[in-house]
Amino acid sequence: MKTFTLRNGVSIPAPGFGTYSRNYDFTEEAIANALKTGYRHFDTATLYRDEDLIGSAIQRSGIPRSELFLTTKVWKTDMGYDRTLRSFEASCKKLQTDYLDLLLIHWPVPEYGPVNDPCRPEDAQDTPWEVLCRDTWRAMEKLYEEGAVRAIGVSNFLPHHLMRLSADAGVLPMVDQIEFHPGYTQQYTVDYCRARGIVVEAWRPMAKQFLANEPLLLELAAQYERSAAQICIRFALQSGVLPLPSSKNPARMAENFNIFDFELSEYDMSRLSTLPQMAWSGQHPDRKRAPEG
Ligand SMILES: NC(=O)c1ccc[n+]([C@@H]2O[C@H](COP(=O)([O-])OP(=O)(O)OC[C@H]3O[C@@H](n4cnc5c(N)ncnc54)[C@H](OP(=O)(O)O)[C@@H]3O)[C@@H](O)[C@H]2O)c1
């Protein structure tokens, strides 16, 4: 395992284990298998409906809480000062913990990003996104200052969202979790974050399986004698981005974890970094959802 260090000195193990499933069918057994494989960093969200089974799997494992890194996120309908504090309490209860390692704002603008979601808190129908983010962030700053969360950050924020949030912030975001994989590297956002000491995390690091037949991935998989998924995870790490691969399958969990015994050359990093856009989720923080792929 590798670690990334945040501005405040907190370290995050990499790779992290992603727990989102479109069908909400992650199981306690899958989390237990991830713990057995060696993952110590779990990425969840209230949206994923699996905080409770992560909490139970951790309890059953007997692994001390201090050896784990737990991230969850404030969903759109929970944005605002009081709702964020309540969301934090509910997440901690489900995860069976009294503190979080990292708390993120899930999306900046409630109307955009994933589709088919209830978007706004009922009593904030006309509140501008900047105000919702600011009030959410104030609650997160309070939790941080009280020691209830070890780090705070955002997800799916582009530089202009970060600029608006930072203008009113006492504590600057420490993490931005964004879609990142060959074919969709959001280089402008990655560079902006790096220049300000914000650690970037990669969601969808293998682009689900949309890159499985991409000729460059097939070529590199054969050349390095690794799977296309391993090439993608290694690509994130060597780009300075913390990958969050997800799998329900124990063999693939292990494959995604075993990425420290090879290195992509600078030449191949360049080829992967400059692929034309492909395998995009279709989710953009300022636009209605586009088709995937
Ligand atoms: N912040 C956000 O807005 C946001 C959005 C999306 C995701 N995320 C986070 O990022 C995590 C990862 O994203 P993701 O789940 O969308 O995408 P992903 O990790 O790129 O892909 C997961 C998919 O790839 C398959 N897979 C896993 N390992 C494989 C391997 N070695 N070979 C072939 N196929 C493999 C999995 O199937 P099997 O399970 O069958 O192995 C699953 O269908 C999520 O779980 C979540 O924690 C965050």
Q: What is the pLDDT of residues 94-108, one digit of tens each?
A: 999 999 999 999 999
* Position 119 confidence tier, pLDDT thresholds 50, 70, 90: confident
The ligand 1 atom nearest the CA atom of 255: 31
Q: Is the shortest distance between the CB of 211 and ligand 1 below 6 Å?
A: no
Distance CA(288)–CA(290), nearest Å, equals 6
Q: Which of 5-9, 19-23, 34-38, 209-213 has the lowest mean pLDDT?
A: 209-213
Q: What is the pLDDT of residues 160-182, one digit of tens each?
A: 999 999 999 999 999 999 999 99
* pLDDT at 4 > cutoff 70: yes
Taking CA atoms, 20 is separated from 43, 46, 253, in Å, by 8, 10, 14
Asked if 48 is an active-site residue, the reply is yes
Residue nearest to atom 12 of ligand 1 (CA): 204
Q: What is the pLDDT of residues 179-209, one digit of tens each?
A: 999 999 999 999 999 999 999 999 999 999 8
pLDDT given at position 118: 67
- Residue 201 has phi, psi (to 5 degrees) of -110, 145
Structure-derived torsion over alpha carbons of residues 59, 60, 64, 67, reported in degrees to the nearest 10: -90
Contact 157, 173 (CB under 8 A): yes
pLDDT given at position 293: 83
Report residue 236 as tokens.
């994130």
Query: How close is the Cα of 286 to the center of ligand 1, in Å?
Result: 23
Domains of the chain: 10-273 (3.20.20.100)
Residue nearest to atom 34 of ligand 1 (CA): 209
